[in-house]
Amino acid sequence: MVRTLANAIERDRLAHAFLMTGVRGVGKTSTARLIAKSLNCIGPDGQGGPTIDPCGQCEPCTAIAEGRHIDVIEMDAASHTGVDDVREIIEAVRYAAVSARFKIYIIDEVHMLSRNAFNALLKTLEEPPAHVKFLFATTEVDKLPVTVLSRTQRFDLRRIPADLLQKHFGWVCEQEQVEAEDEALAMIAAAAEGSVRDGLSILDQAIAHADLDADGKVTATRVRDMLGLADKGAQRRMFGTILEGDAKALLAAIEDQYSLGVEPLALVRSQMELAHRITLAQLGGSLPGAVSEEEQAALTAWGEQLSQGQLHRLWQLLLKAYEEVKTAPDPLVSAQMGLLRLLHASELPDPGKLVKTLEILTANPPVQSPAPPPSDDPAATPTGEAGAEVPAPSDFASLVDRVEQAGHGFAASIMRLQLRVIECEERRLVFSRASSYTEEIAPQLREALLAATGQRWQLEERDWVDAPPSLMEQAEAREEEKKARIDGHPLVAATKTAFPDAEIIPEEETGAPRPQWSKSA
């Protein structure tokens, strides 16, 4: 705004109407008065023209500062909303300024004018006489008609930064000869939310509150009690109990703060501020309002302890708790339940790490122990319990591969699926099959073995219930063992505890790089 006005004054291209917007207490009306000074200043020698740096000594400057200049008319639109009030302005703009360079109309809270009043002002606002300037101020610019906005030069005034407010309040205390702690001024600046007027009202209340003491000092403790804020040390201790998972200590801390007059909503908000400040500390950003080394050390330590994902989860849960406390019939109970939910959620494993661990387990399964070599002694043929996994002779699997390579894929599939091998020696194969397989396979197997080895084989099928499992049954048993091992892993168990409906879907032979989760997860 300053740059725009300075260039406009230097080039003699001043707009005929200016609009100042912003929240309450950021200086809209004061800025309008300063602009009025700039346009009407004549300098200490009475020869000056419009300037971005008014002298503050000439008659127009002093009269405007004291609110008595006849050509600077201030009007409150909240109490002058009708067409008749605007008609008075329209009639008066025809007359030249009495003693100043410009006749200036400052209309505060201009959004309060009625529609008819705006319509009556439009023509004059668009083409005012050269000696007239309009300065509008409003907190609700969205309520102004577009026809008015298009006829003004708009400036959006920002909120005042907290550190600048703190310095200003410190200067005010010096002028008032009142001693104030830096932490107390920081609290007032934070509570002002960028508004100088709000902050000065709180400071005035704090000074009056401090006068009750003998020393009359504005202390952080007094301001905290006055504003109903939680002590920062108590905030950090409560946050620590949440991370430690101590439910009894958390309930006790909530009760202590509530008994001191801290509202449940302010309690949850203080934990949200802590989560936000820890995130800033973790990212190496500036920490607004950090006034103690103890707080700085605690935030840094938590930033190193917690991951970004954990902090974002804490924030989401705190935000949900804040919304619940705002609408709950019993805010204290709602705050207790919301923070307890946060405590229990902090014990859950990080979902991202769980998925990565599962990917590693699935992509790199533990190496199986090699099967023992077969014995040449027929008496040493294994005979265990029915269904027990007893490795087949070591050369049978390679024999099946040779059959498949010879072009007898169907015969190789039969050998993998049906044959429970008892003996597999040179040109002799003794096997058993499950009772469900009744078709004749010997001729087909002899032909396939002849093609694969160049020799004729002797086949013998026995009804032996204790025969070792087939190659397919062994593969299925290994898969079941692998699945059981993965399901029994602590991280997987934690995942299923957190997500009871989750299940692991085996990777299909499609070149998929990682396991997929079912929709039920």
How many percent of the chain have pLDDT more than 90?
Answer: 9
Distance CA 298, CA 321 (A): 24
Per-residue pLDDT tens for 466-490? 788 888 888 888 888 888 888 777 7
pLDDT at 172 over 90: yes
Q: Which two tokens stand for residue 64?
A: 């405007």
The predicted pLDDT at position 169 comes to: 93
Per-residue pLDDT tens for 240-263? 888 888 889 899 988 888 887 788
- The pTM for the full model equals 0.51
Instruction: Categorize the per-residue pLDDT at 366 as very low, low, confident or very high, splitting at 50, 70 and 90.
Output: very low
The predicted pLDDT at position 404 comes to: 87
Angle between helices 115-126 and 83-92 (to 10 degrees): 20
Instruction: Categorize the per-residue pLDDT at 357 as very low, low, confident or very high, splitting at 50, 70 and 90.
Output: low
Instruction: Categorize the per-residue pLDDT at 126 as very low, low, confident or very high, splitting at 50, 70 and 90.
Output: confident
Residue 384: Cβ-neighbour burial (10 angstroms; 0-12, 13-18, 19+):
exposed
The predicted pLDDT at position 213 comes to: 55
Positions of CATH 3.30.300 in the chain: 390-468
State mean pLDDT over 285-291: 57
The predicted pLDDT at position 348 comes to: 59
Instruction: Categorize the per-residue pLDDT at 83 as very low, low, confident or very high, splitting at 50, 70 and 90.
Output: confident
3-state DSSP assignment of residue 105: strand
Q: Is 461 left (phi over 0), alpha (psi -120 to 50) or beta?
A: beta
How many angstroms separate the Cα of 382 from the Cα of each of 198, 269, 396, 414?
90, 71, 15, 22
Report residue 240: phi and psi, to 5°. -65, -40
Instruction: Categorize the per-residue pLDDT at 170 as very low, low, confident or very high, splitting at 50, 70 and 90.
Output: very high
pLDDT at 168 over 90: yes
The predicted pLDDT at position 383 comes to: 39
Instruction: Categorize the per-residue pLDDT at 98 as very low, low, confident or very high, splitting at 50, 70 and 90.
Output: confident
Stretch (H or E) spanning 132: strand 132-138
The predicted pLDDT at position 367 comes to: 45
Q: Which two tokens stand for residue 418?
A: 């049906």
Please tell me the CATH code under which domain 232-347 is placed.
1.20.272.10
3-state DSSP assignment of residue 233: helix
pLDDT at 77 over 60: yes
* Domain 162-227, CATH among 3.30.70.580, 1.20.120.140, 1.10.8.60, 3.20.20.80: 1.10.8.60
The predicted pLDDT at position 511 comes to: 47
Q: Which two tokens stand for residue 399?
A: 């024999």
What type of residue is 137? A
The predicted pLDDT at position 5 comes to: 87
Instruction: Categorize the per-residue pLDDT at 120 as very low, low, confident or very high, splitting at 50, 70 and 90.
Output: confident
Per-residue pLDDT tens for 5-54? 889 888 888 888 899 998 888 888 888 989 999 898 888 888 888 888 88
How many percent of the chain have pLDDT more than 70?
Answer: 84
Query: Buried b / exposed e across 220-245, counting CB within 10 Å, b at 16+?
Result: bebbbebbebbbbebbbebbebbbee
The predicted pLDDT at position 386 comes to: 38
Q: Which two tokens stand for residue 225?
A: 């009690």
| CATH class label, 2-156 | alpha beta
pLDDT at 393 over 50: no
The predicted pLDDT at position 321 comes to: 92
Per-residue pLDDT tens for 403-451? 888 888 888 888 888 888 888 887 888 888 887 888 888 888 888 888 8
Contact by Cβ (8 Å): 268, 335: yes
- Domain topology for 390-468: GMP Synthetase; Chain A, domain 3 (3.30.300)
Could you please report the per-residue DSSP string of 300-327? HHHHHHS-HHHHHHHHHHHHHHHHHHHH
pLDDT at 521 over 80: no
Positions of CATH 3.40.50.300 in the chain: 2-156
Positions of CATH 1.10.8.60 in the chain: 162-227
Q: Which two tokens stand for residue 359?
A: 């990917």
Q: Which residue, 376, 406, 374, 379, is CA-closest to 391?
A: 374
Q: Is 80 left (phi over 0), alpha (psi -120 to 50) or beta?
A: beta
Instruction: Categorize the per-residue pLDDT at 361 as very low, low, confident or very high, splitting at 50, 70 and 90.
Output: low
State mean pLDDT over 370-387: 42
The predicted pLDDT at position 286 comes to: 62
pLDDT at 171 over 90: yes
Instruction: Categorize the per-residue pLDDT at 516 as very low, low, confident or very high, splitting at 50, 70 and 90.
Output: very low
Q: Which residue, 174, 273, 261, 265, is CA-closest to 226?
A: 261
Could you please report the per-residue DSSP string of 39-84? HH---TTS-----SS--S-SHHHHHHHTT--TTEEEEETTT--SHH
Distance CA 266, CA 228 (A): 8
Positions of CATH 1.20.272.10 in the chain: 232-347
Query: Higher pLDDT residue, 367 or 236?
Result: 236
Average pLDDT along the chain: 80
